[in-house]
Structure 1
Amino acid sequence: MIEDTKDNCHRKVFFCIVKAVKQFIDLCNNTVRRNISHTTAVKFLHARKFDVPRAVSLYEQHEQIRLKECLYNIDPDVEPLRSELQTGKFTILSARDSSGAAIALFTANKHSPLSVTHTTTLQGIVYQLDCALQDTETQKSGLIFIYDMSGSKYSNFDYDLSQKILTLLKGGYPARLKKVLIVTAPLWFKAPFKILRLFVREKLRERVFTVSVPTLSLHIPRKALPIHLGGTQDIDHATWLLYCRKSMTNREDELLANIGQPAINCNSVSDFSGDIITINNHITIGTPIVGTEQTTNGDCIHLGTELNENITVNGVSNSVTSPTSPINNKSSSTIATGTTLVASSAQSTPLTNGVCRGSSTGLTEFWSENPPSSASSGFSDDDSLAGQEGDPKTIEQIVHLVKERGRDGLFREYVEIKSRAPEGTFVHARMRNNLAKNRYTDVLCYDHSRVVLSREDGDDSDYINANFVDGYKQKNAYISTQGPLPKTSQDFWRMVWEQHCLVIVMTTRVMERGRVKCGQYWEPTENSSLEFGNFHVRTISIESNEEYTLSSLELKNIKTEEVRNISHWQFTSWPDYGVPSSAMAMLNFLQKVRDKQAQMVKALGDTWAGHTRGPPIVVHCSAGIGRTGTFITLDICISRLEDVGTADIRGTVEKIRSQRAFSIQMPDQYVFCHLALIEYAVSRGMLKSVDLEGFEEREDDSD
């Protein structure tokens, strides 16, 4: 019974897809008066989730752009297109992302606007996209577009061409554009980027990100990326061009259609009477479909096979999924509700009386694009971290908890946290050529959240002992790192440059208790400078206070001659042992750091197109886990307390430790976070004075 129902469901979806193809072809023929092939029809229907009117609209706009930009009759053997293709500035990578999407790569530093026309460049792009879109997997899973600006200059940038490419991709090309990833965007690009975003519809705008090379792998698996972008793939553009030549490109399907290929007539079910109908080699009907395939109100009901489609026929949206297809590793079922079929990926119920039944959750989720990731170096507008997870408590509840548990109770709580095994691997940190880059052999860097340096000529490693750490409602708000070693100072400044960092927080002294805790990676005297590889670091001014030292630095990239200002904050009142006796010094310091970050982001004006709080703040002590973790924990908890009136100290520490292993190194630091948050609340009038006798700080050695 179940198998019969499945077969019937399959036949129904085949019928409705073919019906959609027929409607598309009829509408297009009436509008543009040209024969449309089945291959083209399915391509455009895929791009608009089988919504026939939207697919027709896409086709019409596509044809208009083709005519306007001279994108017909593309011949790859004719100059200047032949030379344009050989540059390799645009190519389709051989691997796909985890969702099956094809990956297109445009390398900006290979483009010379003065030596090639827009038409030639667009022809080279469309020629290759046409080839990529012959693949049904690309039609179903979509396309990711990488615009690599690494090593590019202003002379490589063509604003008008960029606008034309976006116009083509945003609504004039039959490919589902999943993401646009702009890699290593220089500061001068931020202003035109803001303007370009206005030309993109809002839904696509949410999928446009500016990212660094290190964070690109958070959007696309490393195994699918080329080596120079932090991946493992070799780019073989010559082989790809050969494939393009051999495949059906340049709209040969349209040429065949115009020669007179017959269209499928599906005015009634009897049209199929046992014939085998194949669309794009993967939709086939091989048995007669008997009886009506409509509901009582005349609208098709759909159940899917391998297609997870949301098909619209006659203006009625019908969600489709396979009763046997795994979704999120769980089976799915479907239920008919009127003319719309819906499914749940969370649970499955058996077929009853031959009808697929399940949850009432809509299937639109299966056609929605991947949610926008904020794994960029601060440029994404996405605030993906709600900050409400865990066990939030009001400040009054935190005071009660501290009084109730006492120091010993908080110590035990910290021991529970510390006893958990690390939540990641340390493969790169343990590689032979990276071991010497770790200040301490037992303080290593997680693989999954590490900051990955771009590789330069002669580099044998992209490793630095540093991890991205999320803030309150901000992805990658901090870079938690060790104090630079003399041999890693060059890497440190390269990281600051590549991540566009504005502020560095140092919570240690260079020397403590007769031991070197951090390298001298900047000059401690005014109007003096140091060089580290390709970076020139000049100290412009120094402001010394009782609790901290503020240095204004000028960071110059010797290769590009670009200069940036860096604000360096060294907290000096943390004692050699334990934690500060009063939290106010740290709290005041933290507030000044935040104010400076906001001031510097504001000064960037329209050149900053990212998160309102700016790029990551670099925070380090000696190992990058003790005082560093304490600073970050307090900043997150204070931000949350100010925003929603609650905080979760334990949850915050656990979250930080999942991104930077071993953060909050000592139990006293964990206790200090509680006491400091309470002191902050008192200072802001959130609490009246609180009696916390018995919490004088112990003098344990603490990083």
Structure 2
Amino acid sequence: MENGSMTLTQEQKQAVVEFVEIINHTRKVQNKTIISPSIAVKFLCARKFDVARAITLFKQHEETRLREGLFGFNCSDKLLKTELQTQKFTILPTRDSTGAAIAIFTARYHIPHLSSHQTTLQGIVYQLDVALENIKTQKCGLVFIYDMSDSKYANFDYDLSQKILTLLKGGYPAKLKKVLIVTAPLWFKAPFKILRLFVREKLRDRVFTISLPQLIQHIPKESLPKHLGGTVDIEHNKWLAYCLNSMTNSDKYGNSAMSDHICNSNNTKKDSVPDPKVNNLIKENDVDEECAIVKNNLSSTWSCNTVNLREESSPMPPSSVSSGFSDDDSLHCDSSQSLTISQFVDYVLKKKRAGLIKEYEEIKTRSPDGTFSAARIRPNLLKNRYTDVLCYDHTRVLLAQSDKDPLSDYIHANFVDGYKQKNAFISTQGPLPHTCVDFWRMAWEQQVLVIVMTTKVFECGKVKCEQYWPPEESSEDQVYQNFKISTISINQFDNYAVTRLQVLNTNTNEVRRVSHFRFNSWPDFGVPHSAVAMLDFLGKVRKCQSSMLQDLGDKWAGHQRGPPIIVHCSAGIGRTGTFCTLDICINRLEETNTVDIKGTVERIRSQRAYSIQTSEQYVFCHLALIEYALARGFLSSPPDLSDLKPLDDSD
């Protein structure tokens, strides 16, 4: 883009010509107004200049507008004016780090019996039409935030939500980059499952249910309004004035079919002369010259979608929040490195222990796949248990900021993907005395059901982890600011203990149950001599997560496998990484009869630095998986694994 214009390649110009010829041929036969190249570019931009897909979008767009009464509506109409002034839908004067425009629908402002579907959709389309006149929005697309903060069931309109999704998913000429459903109430799960059916498959992994603290992992803080944790003041009235000014002073769509639906306010002239400040307008009959599209930047104190970020700013890190729609947005999906279980056994027998250790050392010597800036900020250094085990920036769990302290969002914890589940785990260190409150804040905000602890409180005469829960049923409740932790029951088994905890949030008086699994059979040095105990433990954890999720019913609105499981040892990388590796590999084996330990470890380490801390843990994962395969009948006979006997090593 140069000077507010989009420079098209020769192929793109040809696509514009083809689109215009096909559409206008049909429209002439139907005695309809022909479209201009500027209209063609909007639809082509939205479909990567694929002519066939853009034509389909154009037809769906017209059908949607006709069906929902979105042609020829009058923005001076009292109902529409009232709708626009509710501020339930607005376009921010900022963008995300990719340049996409940001639209917000605030659910709590929607009162279904006071606003018809048609009026609400008219208010949305009226504003989107103006926003889409900006060249950068055409090029970079749109992020849609559905803010459910403080909303009630009475604010939710399922049919309207379906219509909005239908419009955005394939009936509007803009790239929909993401849909961010913020602070979804627990009752939202049931309609959410049905709504996913109306979203195109390719879009499903771009629809996220997230908490408020997670929003800044998608959109920079400086681009968000203050009520969503950002720094921007929403000036909705100025935006509406800009919309009216844009409609009044320029024929936005040129001589096009779309001009029929422009708001017919008394000041709007269908054939008005474009504002002289708008340059590079497309001429109707010269496509080669026309393909520098105008940037609509009227002289207004509030300019549509001005960018507060520097153009050279680096892109935001990968999202670390859970997708509510897709099972396939995890790093651990299909893998080109996968081996069948029989190939895997042959591979292990050929490598032997020395070969696997060499393979691990090669992985270990690679540089980290991210930065540790937040973990190295001086106040945050005190929240890290070990100075040489830091927390990646791009996958770290962000806490809700408290008391306007920008550093209060830090906890030494990273999201780690599971098999076909983004952020299935939170890998974290054993809490310190002064970070227990942050630990319980994290568990509460992420709606955690299960905590897995693979270390003891004391090992080798050292404190490995703070006792962050009451150790006995008769123990006094432990209080961490507004969280009161009670031990309801303890069940001791040969190799592990399961403690049922009650967590009371004294700010809201809400009570939740959390199951705490503590594995006791990992020796002070080395790895377990047999994987049976660990595999049994892992199975019990998964069964408990599934049972507790089922008990929640429609109170859970996220991924079908439930919220993330917190996993920790002392540092949060050795035994923790081993647990996550085995869980991922077992799930892959069960579904595909294939194994990929090396690739799994590499991907885990890209999200939680240094995971799988020792070569013996790496070898143990191979032995454990073979042991699991034997027990579950994936192998017909046990191989000779004497060359892989584990040596002593520490976590």
- TM, length-normalised to structure 2: 0.78
Matching residue of 2:305: none
Deviation, structure 1 residue 390:
5.5
Matching residue of 1:186: 185
1:464 equivalent to 2:390? Answer no
1:648-675 alpha-carbon deviations (Å, 9 max, x no partner):
2222222211110111112221222222
Aligned equivalents of 2:197 and 2:235: distance in 1? 35
Deviation, structure 1 residue 499:
2.3
Q: Which amino acid aligns with 2:21?
A: K
CA spacing shift, 1:10–1:144, aligned 2, 3 Å: closer
Q: Which amino acid aligns with 1:518?
A: C
Q: Which amino acid aligns with 1:445?
A: C
1:294-317 alpha-carbon deviations (Å, 9 max, x no partner):
xxxxxxxxx99679xxxxxxxxxx
Aligned equivalents of 2:541 and 2:88: distance in 1? 42
Q: After the TM superposition, which of the residue ranges 436-445 and 97-106 deviates more from structure 2?
A: 97-106
Aligned equivalents of 1:426 and 1:92: distance in 2? 34
Kept in 2: contact 1:224–1:231 (CA 8 A): yes
- Matched positions, count: 597
Q: 1:554 aligns with which of 499, 502, 526?
A: 502
Matching residue of 1:657: 605
Aligned equivalents of 2:372 and 2:16: distance in 1? 50
Deviation, structure 1 residue 645:
2.7
CA spacing shift, 1:694–1:52, aligned 2, 3 Å: closer
Aligned equivalents of 2:292 and 2:564: distance in 1? 43
Deviation, structure 1 residue 602:
3.1
CA spacing shift, 1:67–1:103, aligned 2, 3 Å: closer
1:541 equivalent to 2:489? Answer yes
Aligned equivalents of 2:29 and 2:510: distance in 1? 55
Kept in 2: contact 1:93–1:104 (CA 8 A): yes
Matching residue of 1:145: 144
Q: After the TM superposition, which of the residue ranges 568-577 and 53-62 deviates more from structure 2?
A: 53-62
Aligned equivalents of 1:566 and 1:250: distance in 2? 60
1:478-519 alpha-carbon deviations (Å, 9 max, x no partner):
111111223222222222233232221111112222322112
Q: Which SS does the other structure have where 1:106 is aligned?
A: strand
Q: Which SS does the other structure have where 1:542 is aligned?
A: strand
Q: Which SS does the other structure have where 1:465 is aligned?
A: strand
Deviation, structure 1 residue 29:
5.2
Q: After the TM superposition, which of the residue ranges 656-665 and 212-221 deviates more from structure 2?
A: 212-221
Kept in 2: contact 1:577–1:699 (CA 8 A): yes
Q: Which SS does the other structure have where 1:643 is aligned?
A: helix
1:328-360 alpha-carbon deviations (Å, 9 max, x no partner):
xxxxxxxxxxxxxxxxxxxxxxxxxxxxxxxxx
Note the residue ranges of structure 2 that are not aligned, 5 or more in a row.
1-7, 253-258, 294-317
Matching residue of 2:73: 72
CA spacing shift, 1:59–1:578, aligned 2, 3 Å: same
Deviation, structure 1 residue 429:
0.7
CA spacing shift, 1:499–1:18, aligned 2, 3 Å: same
Aligned equivalents of 2:12 and 2:285: distance in 1? 11
Q: Which amino acid aligns with 1:244?
A: C
Matching residue of 2:392: 446
Kept in 2: contact 1:379–1:615 (CA 8 A): no
1:263-289 alpha-carbon deviations (Å, 9 max, x no partner):
9xxxxxxxxxxxxxxx99554578799
Aligned equivalents of 1:206 and 1:671: distance in 2? 34
Q: 1:583 aligns with which of 520, 524, 531?
A: 531
Kept in 2: contact 1:470–1:477 (CA 8 A): yes
Kept in 2: contact 1:101–1:137 (CA 8 A): yes
Aligned equivalents of 2:565 and 2:341: distance in 1? 26
1:698 equivalent to 2:647? Answer yes
Matching residue of 1:412: 358
CA spacing shift, 1:136–1:423, aligned 2, 3 Å: closer
Deviation, structure 1 residue 107:
3.0
Q: After the TM superposition, which of the residue ranges 220-229 and 599-608 deviates more from structure 2?
A: 220-229
Kept in 2: contact 1:434–1:463 (CA 8 A): yes
Aligned equivalents of 1:639 and 1:304: distance in 2? 55
Aligned equivalents of 1:437 and 1:632: distance in 2? 23
Q: 1:503 aligns with which of 450, 475, 480?
A: 450
Kept in 1: contact 2:20–2:40 (CA 8 A): no
- TM, length-normalised to structure 1: 0.73
Deviation, structure 1 residue 464:
1.2
Kept in 2: contact 1:62–1:173 (CA 8 A): no
Deviation, structure 1 residue 445:
0.4
Aligned equivalents of 2:494 and 2:60: distance in 1? 67
Kept in 2: contact 1:211–1:377 (CA 8 A): yes
Deviation, structure 1 residue 692:
3.0
1:47-102 alpha-carbon deviations (Å, 9 max, x no partner):
6776557525522531442369xx822249x79946x6566443212333455432
Deviation, structure 1 residue 192:
2.3
Aligned equivalents of 1:61 and 1:679: distance in 2? 57
Structure-to-structure mapping, 1:34-433, within 5 angstroms = 51-52=54-55, 55-56=58-59, 58-66=61-69, 72-75=73-76, 81=81, 88-97=87-96, 100-109=99-108, 122=121, 124-154=123-153, 156-159=155-158, 161-166=160-165, 168-170=167-169, 173-198=172-197, 207-213=206-212, 215-216=214-215, 219-220=218-219, 224-226=223-225, 229=228, 235=234, 237=236, 239-248=238-247, 254=259, 261=271, 281=280, 283-284=282-283, 376-377=321-322, 379-384=324-329, 385=331, 387-389=333-335, 391-433=337-379
Q: 1:484 aligns with which of 415, 431, 435?
A: 431
CA spacing shift, 1:551–1:662, aligned 2, 3 Å: same
Kept in 1: contact 2:446–2:564 (CA 8 A): yes
Aligned equivalents of 2:537 and 2:36: distance in 1? 68
Aligned equivalents of 1:74 and 1:665: distance in 2? 63
Larger Rg: 1
CA spacing shift, 1:419–1:306, aligned 2, 3 Å: farther
Deviation, structure 1 residue 427:
0.5
Task: Flag the structure with more relative contact order, 1 or 2, with Cα contacts below 8 A and sequence separation at least 6.
Answer: 2
Aligned equivalents of 2:233 and 2:18: distance in 1? 42
Kept in 2: contact 1:169–1:177 (CA 8 A): yes
Aligned equivalents of 1:121 and 1:287: distance in 2? 38
Matching residue of 2:466: 519
Kept in 2: contact 1:47–1:175 (CA 8 A): yes
Kept in 1: contact 2:187–2:556 (CA 8 A): no
Alignment RMSD (CA, Å): 4.1
Aligned equivalents of 1:111 and 1:558: distance in 2? 30
Deviation, structure 1 residue 593:
1.0
Aligned equivalents of 1:17 and 1:580: distance in 2? 66
Kept in 1: contact 2:213–2:401 (CA 8 A): no
Aligned equivalents of 1:72 and 1:603: distance in 2? 48
Kept in 2: contact 1:211–1:375 (CA 8 A): no
CA spacing shift, 1:382–1:223, aligned 2, 3 Å: farther
Q: Which amino acid aligns with 1:465?
A: H
Aligned equivalents of 1:251 and 1:73: distance in 2? 17
